[in-house]
Structure 1
Amino acid sequence: MTSRGEGLGAAIRAWRERLPPAAAGFSAGYRRRAVGLRREELADLAGVSVEYLVRLEQGRSTAPSPQVAAALARALQLTTAERDHLYRLANLLPPPTDVISDQIPPGLRRVVSRLADAAVAVFAADWQMVWWNRQWAGAIGDPASLPPESRNFARNTFPVGPPAGSGPGSATPTSHQQPADPPARSGPRTTTPTSHQQPADPPARSGPRTTTPTSHQRPTDPPAGSEPRTTTSASHRWDAPAMSSWPVVYDNVDITAASIVSDLRRATGRFPREERLTTLISDLIEGNEQFAALWAAGAVGAHRSDGKVIHHPELGPIAVDCDVLTDGETELKVVILTAAPGSEDESKLRLATMLPDAEPASRADAALR
């Protein structure tokens, strides 16, 4: 049972007394003694009777209709979080949010910009990358060299036909194609484009990438070591997706893939009318058999964590833990890569920041400064 001061009536009264009359279009007047809005004023704004509003505030009525709850939220000028709280206090389901946000709230922005010891990226509710730091660019490769449409982790995990920017005849590995070891690098390493470099054309994907073309380089023939991938075990996969400039081995790729799908299904409950999300899911169902099978299973959940090994071309293998934190209001996902404290992997992760791939900071990182 809700205690006095915590229920629906107490919340409505607190919000009413908080709202300045001028903000609602009323004159304060010289003889006004009420703090905030009068009950008569709120009732007029919300289109309900004063008597009903009194019953709500006194707790004698606790089940307003969704229409009344919406009218009160508008009249009281509540934030999205406050509106949802009002609905829950009234035992109603909060109305769904229509649009996925790519904007990072100021508080979250301050937090991620201070995680200097970790490789961090922020993704929207549909796994569209919206921000990354220098450490991420150094450890994984700078996503600034990719067009925005290629920075979606779900599309990257479940490729549909040739990936964005691929040339004729280039192969896209599926989640069932796994080699025992990452392929040997062939030839000297080239420089990853920085935030001020734009590649003339996206590189052709023919098997695993061993080099990343700069803005002045055009791939000609597939590099040596780009043979078709072969299956080894269900729990390990060498994966060199468009969002990574070099191979990444997941501890359990099947669990990661299933987590991404269940997280997208959860997002459809929060954003049921978001065209960008529905288009993404439709494309993946029609174009990727693994995604379609996982989607048909109907699981709902969130991607929380996994482990992986980054096969960095300069530093060698780096074992990292990948943890995913979700902002409750925007559904933004903060993906954090860290290594065991005091380990060689931690030293490598720090060194990655000082390599050319992390210099200068990506456009997304610089935007926070």
Structure 2
Amino acid sequence: MEREELARCLRGWRDRLTPASVGLPAGARRRAPGLRRAEVALLAGLSVDYLARLEQGRAGNPSPSVVESLARALRLSDDENAYLFRLAGHADPRAGGISRHIPPGVRRMLDRMTDTPVLVLDAAWQVVAANPLLIALLGELSAGPARDQNLLWRHFTGVPSRVVATAGQDAAFESAATADLRAAAGRHPDDPLLRGLIADLRRASPRFESLWQERAVSRHASSRKTILHPQVGPLTLDCDVLTVEGSDLRAVLYTAVPGSSDDDALALLRTIGTQFSGSAS
């Protein structure tokens, strides 16, 4: 019964979305309402075959990370998210944990800020959303395994990045980010995804483990980053962090000094669009 209900919900939630509502082009004429299965699979970082089996009631219970990816891709409300987790046989991590739900106002901001790269992160540095210009700037960050959608996991395990930094800048970022993650752990000690991330980072990265043992606690502030883009070259941008009232979501806006060469490069990136987005490497 739960598997059949899960399948019906996934199909129904997919059918109510439009390509425009999730930042995708409409493409060719559609024979049915809503998103195509391949589009949801792309947004959730899943294979089309696995999503098909879920929608047909032929797959076993999906993992919490898969459920979270589906909830994000399908733009579920908090109540729908809780229902989806229950159908999949898991406790809802939003109950007493980090809320990864994007309020409608933040979603509208992402949709309308077409001239500024915007990245939305949760308290665990997990990518929750990114607008097309951010993807063009940094590459696709919200596809693939859930761990690869986490900025701290990517950094501490050496996943290729377009961000370039000196050793000193890297060290400063690592210290600040680790202290920020400890602050998040203090606010959400029972969040399973956060606890799993910290445990995995401590095992995978001696540098993170060393910083974690320092027990520094603070919130990460705004910064400047240099991005080496394969088509427009290097850009040094201000990264201003805006917090979303009533949640742990953070919107990071990447802007350049008006009239600078970085501003010209960002304008060129707006012109060429996402055709060169590719991976983050």
Per the normalisation by structure 2, the TM-score is: 0.59
Alpha-carbon distance, 1:111 to partner:
2.7
RMSD: 2.4
- CA–CA distance in structure 2, aligned partners of residues 320 and 339 of structure 1: 5
Do structure 1's residue 154 and structure 2's residue 155 form an aligned pair? no
Q: Does the aligned pair in 2 maintain the 1:97–1:270 contact within 8 Å?
A: no
Do structure 1's residue 295 and structure 2's residue 198 form an aligned pair? no
Fraction of identical pairs, as percent: 35
Q: Per the alignment, in what secondary structure is the counterpart of residue 308 of structure 1? A: strand
Alpha-carbon distance, 1:104 to partner:
0.5
- Summarize the Cα distance change of 1:328–1:260 in structure 2 as closer, same or farther, 3 Å threshold: farther
Per the normalisation by structure 1, the TM-score is: 0.46
Q: Deviations over 1:159-203 (max 9, x none)?
A: 1xxxxxxxxxxxx4xxxxxxxxxxxxxxxxxxxxxxxxxxxxxxx
Alpha-carbon distance, 1:288 to partner:
1.0
Comparing 98-107 with 331-340, greater Cα deviation is found at 98-107
Q: Per the alignment, in what secondary structure is the counterpart of residue 216 of structure 2? A: coil
- CA–CA distance in structure 2, aligned partners of residues 249 and 355 of structure 1: 25
Do structure 1's residue 322 and structure 2's residue 239 form an aligned pair? yes
- Summarize the Cα distance change of 1:355–1:147 in structure 2 as closer, same or farther, 3 Å threshold: farther
Alpha-carbon distance, 1:113 to partner:
2.9
- CA–CA distance in structure 2, aligned partners of residues 351 and 120 of structure 1: 17
Structure with the higher helix share, 1 or 2: 2
Q: Per the alignment, in what secondary structure is the counterpart of residue 131 of structure 1? A: strand
- CA–CA distance in structure 1, aligned partners of residues 259 and 140 of structure 2: 26
- CA–CA distance in structure 2, aligned partners of residues 98 and 361 of structure 1: 36
- CA–CA distance in structure 2, aligned partners of residues 127 and 331 of structure 1: 10
Q: Which runs of 5+ in 2 are unaligned?
A: 1-93
The structure whose Rg is larger is 1
- Summarize the Cα distance change of 1:318–1:261 in structure 2 as closer, same or farther, 3 Å threshold: same
- CA–CA distance in structure 1, aligned partners of residues 95 and 218 of structure 2: 18
Residue of structure 2 equivalent to 1:283: 200
- Match 1:333 to one of 250, 253, 258: 250
- Summarize the Cα distance change of 1:144–1:354 in structure 2 as closer, same or farther, 3 Å threshold: farther
Alpha-carbon distance, 1:311 to partner:
1.2
* 1:248-263 correspondence to structure 2 within 5 Å: 248-249=164-165, 252-263=169-180
Do structure 1's residue 140 and structure 2's residue 57 form an aligned pair? no
Q: Per the alignment, in what secondary structure is the counterpart of residue 165 of structure 2? A: strand
Q: Per the alignment, in what secondary structure is the counterpart of residue 113 of structure 1? A: helix
- Summarize the Cα distance change of 1:135–1:286 in structure 2 as closer, same or farther, 3 Å threshold: same
- Length, aligned pairs only: 184
Alpha-carbon distance, 1:323 to partner:
1.6
Alpha-carbon distance, 1:120 to partner:
0.7
* 1:61-76 correspondence to structure 2 within 5 Å: none
Q: Which runs of 4+ in 1 moved over 3 A?
A: 144-148, 359-362
Q: Which runs of 5+ in 1 are unaligned?
A: 1-95, 160-171, 173-240, 363-369
- CA–CA distance in structure 2, aligned partners of residues 264 and 359 of structure 1: 34
Alpha-carbon distance, 1:144 to partner:
5.1
* 1:83-162 correspondence to structure 2 within 5 Å: 98-143=96-141, 145-159=143-157
- CA–CA distance in structure 1, aligned partners of residues 245 and 115 of structure 2: 24
